[in-house]
Amino acid sequence: MLNGKKAFITNAAVADIYVVFAYTDRSKKREGMSAFIIEKGTQGFSFAKIENLLGMRGCVVGGLVFRDCRVPEENILGSEGDGFRIAMATLDRDRIAMSSIGTGIAQACLDVSKNYAKERKQFSQPIANFQAVQFMLADMAMEVEAARLLTYKAAYLADKGGKFTKEASMAKLYASEVAQRAAINAVQIHGGYGCTKECPAERFFRDARILSIVVGTSEIQRMVIAREELRSGSD
């Protein structure tokens, strides 16, 4: 019988199937956590508030509520007690997905900024001629490349099998911070227009902010990276 609630679930009320992590034996701590497959419409399973998000507004995010929700034994994913291991393995892969989104947002910021800088004229010349604007474009281009390479490396290690926890956290942390810096510069390059809903940079700015929170905040990524570094000793 499941009882409890969880806020901020992507695709809440949209998805037909949910993977829910719950304690089956709290005394065993991590080993007492299990994963369940729960279908929408199961008695005792309902939805709570849908959030009005800052960014990623195309994504439905809301709460799940379980009240005396009876789940058959065959709905346990893996075996009883496998929940924590499954959750951690899923998080590593999700982090690579997030770093891809961050790299994509940063690349889009660079693309729209380059185009705008070549079109927009001030003081009788395109703003792309100004070194201050060029430096912002240069930083964006360099950081997009670095974020892409970290993402590819983490994805390559994941495909190869074996451990990629540190690389996934590095890629996620770096790409989400690059996306934010690129979005700040993209709004800057677009000037007043960058502060309007018509400008794509305005949306990138809001979307990028979400990335430092989801699938573990930047602080949590730094903790994971430090833990993995300290565990591995000196190279």
Ligand X SMILES: Cc1cc2nc3c(=O)[nH]c(=O)nc-3n(C[C@H](O)[C@H](O)[C@H](O)COP(=O)(O)OP(=O)(O)OC[C@H]3O[C@@H](n4cnc5c(N)ncnc54)[C@H](O)[C@@H]3O)c2cc1C
Q: Cα separation of 8 and 187, whole Å?
A: 28
User: Is the CB of residue 228 less than 8 Å from the CB of residue 166?
Assistant: yes
Collapsed DSSP state (helix, strand, coil) of residue 186: helix
- Whose tokens are 């899923």? That residue is 90
Closest to ligand X by CB, 65 vs 213, is: 213
Q: How far is the CB of 13 from ligand X (least distance, A)?
A: 12
Near ligand X by CB under 6 A: residue from 35, 56, 105, 144: 56
Closest to ligand X by CB, 111 vs 228, is: 228
Near ligand X by CB under 6 A: residue from 122, 134, 196, 217: 217
- The piece of 22-30, 122-130, 166-174, 216-224 that touches ligand X (CB under 6 A) is 216-224
73, 85, 72: which is closest to 31 by C-alpha? 85
Residues 106-165 binding ligand X (CB under 6 A) are none
Closest to ligand X by CB, 64 vs 186, is: 64
Contact between 89 and ligand X by CB under 6 A: the answer reads no
Q: How far is the CB of 83 from ligand X (least distance, A)?
A: 13
Contact between 18 and ligand X by CB under 6 A: the answer reads no
34, 22, 19: which is closest to 82 by C-alpha? 34
Q: Hey, what are 119's tokens? A: 């079109």
Contact between 20 and ligand X by CB under 6 A: the answer reads no
Contact between 64 and ligand X by CB under 6 A: the answer reads no
61-69 and 76-77 strand pairing: unpaired
Q: Which one-letter amino acid corresponds to residue 45?
A: F
Give the number of C-alpha atoms closer than 13 A to the C-alpha of residue 117, restricted to the C-beta side.
24
Residues that bind ligand X (CB under 6 A): 8-10, 53, 56, 61, 210, 213-217, 219-220
